[in-house]
Chain A
Amino acid sequence: MIDYLNNILPELSNTCSIGDVKETDKKVLAELSKYADTKVINGGIVGTVGEGDYTLMLAAHIDEVGFVVTDIDTRGFLTVQKVGGIDLRHLPSRRVVIHGKEDVFGVFCSIPPHIKSGDETKFDDIESLKIDTLLGKRAKEVISVGDFVTYKETAAPLTDGRITGKALDNRVGVSVLLCLVRELKEKELPIKVAFTFTGEEELGCRGAGISAFSIKPDEAIAIDVTFGDGPDVNAKDCGKLCGGAMIGAAPVLCREITDKLTAVAKDKDIPYTLEIMSERTGTDADKISLTASGIKTGLLSVPIRNMHTPVEVVDINDIVSAVKILKEYILSGGIKNV
């Protein structure tokens, strides 16, 4: 399982999925269709395994944060807007890929000190942070307004089983589902499971509602990432890396699912921690639970550090924990008989 994850996660991280850029989607479709009856519904990928009239939907969003081009000047510099929540403070000198007619490299300008007003760059206006395309006046031949831009970063191993890369939010969740569907191969399943990969989570969980409405599951679990620990992160706001997957408990989440996830983890000695939230979860779970007449929804998260940056960090053991918990949850029939 670890070997598979160490292989697939970097591959997923290195592809892009934003707007009409669908590299990750193609990869997921190819992998998922080896194990599940797979189709695409309104942009959302769904792979079904198992039989019966009781369906558990597992949802991982496939999209990532990035930018969209709003202007191209004559010198080949781009103005962009954010797609999702981005920390502007880390953009100067950041390398990006511009998904134009072909993929081209770019770099966010770092304004030299002699041009700055005052001592520091003001990080309140993304329009002041231009992207240098290195193309000069040829930029307009390759790039159009409306093209998407993503971080240029290649995933790499760190120490102690940890991996860094871009878009681990939420390629981690995607890798959990791909590893899980593989683990369930040739297993007798007590319920039907729909593996779904949703779009536009970073713009407000838009794809999850569409997928949930199409599938009409009896219950659903969103698989996403949450905040990992760090010296400057409050302990109550985060999960410790290598502490296991985090089982969500929140007003909007179905208590039976939370309890059952916890019970199987305890029963099978799989490491986990609880992620307790007092309001909404900020994940696809919020959207799924409100779909149609309401769907019982749970949330399982993997802690990552530096969320929404090209240097996100995850511990592979926490992904393994998530896969194992979900596997046992499914084999024990979810909350069908609870």
Chain B
Amino acid sequence: MFDTLRTLCTLSSVSGDEKTVRDCIIEEIKDYCEYKVDALGNILFEKKGKKRTANRVMLDAHMDEVGIIITDIEENGFLRFNTVGGIEKECLLFSRVIFKNKTTGVIGNRPIHLLSAEEAKKLPLVDNMYIDIGAKDKESALKRVAPGDTAVLCGDYIESGDLILSKALDDRVGCAVLINLIKNYDEYDFCGSFSTMEEVGCIGARTAAFSLSPDFALVLEGTTASDIGDTPPSKEICCVGEGVAVSFMDRGTLYDRELYSIAINDKSIKKQTKRGTTGANNSAGIHLSKEGIRTLALSVPTRYIHSASSVCSKEDIISMYKSTEYMISAINKL
């Protein structure tokens, strides 16, 4: 599972530009299920198990990640950009970026020595930031990058004990778990989507849910963990290493209370309640589809989630895998 996760994290897949991750996932799952790619780039799949289901279950993980998109190339060779998705603005300044063709750049700024005391306390606006790929002028830059190209912040995948440090853990953890379920879980049938454009408004999952038309949906995600530094327990939301986080409500969804209860009351797998209502995920798009779909989100607690250095626990990922298996079976007994 973690080899798959490492491979997926290394790929670049900004919202709307998910081809590299999509191709990688198809390579992984093609021998284990029926699949197709829809108009918005989602992978829709049907996985046959040993038993037919009374309730059709859809599993979803999104393929895209937050990043940047080039908006202009100036005469002096510097690139202007905008952010795609809710990338942490405070993680941009003086970061290294990489384009899909491996062109490397850095987000530059006036050095600290040349800032006033006031300037040094305030982040510059994204509109005032620029990317330097080293190009001496526009002509040279255009040989490597064009407006509309996407890039991600560099963030190598590193393991430290049980913890993983990487870019794009949101939501490659969901993709890795889903790939492994397709390969290894064979009790009941299930269907699902590897969806596009979650970070810009849960776009792919809406059409995926319409096409798949399930009775139930399980959304596999990464969610904010704030068990850091001096944060009081009431603001932690969830803790890395304490098991998969089960949501009752967030900014996009009031989750199906029966599914929440089944998940959280299963004591065989380490898990925690997501103690907060921040954030949103593909559940927001899925649960309002058609006549309404009973939906639950299972999330891997992730620190610094929309940065290039997000942190999560391998045990929590395994806990997500086991919880998802448990829920597929449980839903089929409803």
The residues of A with any CB-CB pair to B shorter than 8 Å are 73, 75, 77, 85-90, 92-95, 104-105, 107, 109-115, 120-124, 130, 132, 134-136, 153, 156-162, 164, 227, 230-234, 237, 241-242, 282, 305-311, 313, 315
Contacts and interface: CB of A to CB of B under 8 A. Distances in A.
Contacts of A86: 112
B114 A227 contact: yes
A92 B94 contact: no
Contacts of A237: 114
A307 B113 contact: yes
Nearest to A238: B114
Contact of A90 (B74, B93, B122): B93
A134 B133 contact: no
Contact of A123 (B94, B120, B309): B120
B311 interface: yes
B103 interface: yes
B329 interface: no
Contact of B95 (A160, A307, A311): A311
B145 to A, nearest CB: 9
11 contacts: A90-B93, A93-B307, A104-B160, A107-B165, A109-B228, A109-B304, A112-B278, A160-B136, A164-B134, A231-B78, A313-B134
Interface centre among A92, A111, A162 (most CB of B within 10 A): A92
Contact of B304 (A105, A110, A230, A315): A110
Nearest to B232: A115
Interface in B90-113: 90-91, 93-96, 103-113
B304 A93 contact: yes
Closest 9 CB pairs of A and B: A158-B134, A162-B134, A93-B307, A311-B106, A130-B229, A159-B134, A90-B94, A307-B111, A309-B94
Nearest to A120: B123
Given A89-B123, A157-B104, A306-B111, 7 more contacts: A87-B94, A90-B94, A105-B165, A233-B110, A307-B112, A311-B107, A311-B108
A107 B113 CA distance: 24
Contacts of B229: 73, 75, 77, 109, 130
Contact of A159 (B123, B133, B230): B133
Interface string B72-88: 00101010000000001
Contacts of A120: 90, 122-123
Nearest to B123: A89
B41 to A, nearest CB: 28
B231 interface: yes
B200 interface: no
Contacts of A130: 228-230
Interface in B247-291: 276, 278
B227 interface: yes
Contacts of B123: 89, 120-121, 123
A230 B309 contact: no
A112 B238 CA distance: 12
Contact of A313 (B74, B106, B241): B106
Interface of B: 74, 76, 78, 88, 90-91, 93-96, 103-115, 120-124, 128, 130, 132-136, 140-141, 144, 155, 158, 160-161, 163, 165, 224, 226-231, 235, 237, 241, 276, 278, 303-305, 307-309, 311
Interface of B is mostly: loop
Contacts of A308: 111-113
Contacts of A315: 134
A241 B110 CA distance: 15
A321 B91 CA distance: 35
Nearest to A309: B94
B237 A89 contact: no
A74 to B, nearest CB: 11
B133 A158 contact: yes
A327 to B, nearest CB: 26
A53 B311 CA distance: 60
Contacts of B104: 156-158, 164
Interface centre among B78, B93, B163, B226 (most CB of A within 10 A): B93
A50 B181 CA distance: 71
B103 A313 contact: no
A311 B94 contact: yes
Contacts of A112: 224, 226, 237, 278, 305
Contacts of B135: 159-160
A305 B128 CA distance: 16
Given A121-B90, A157-B104, A230 B110 contact: yes
A90 B307 CA distance: 12
A135 B130 contact: no
Nearest to B133: A159
A77 B123 CA distance: 24
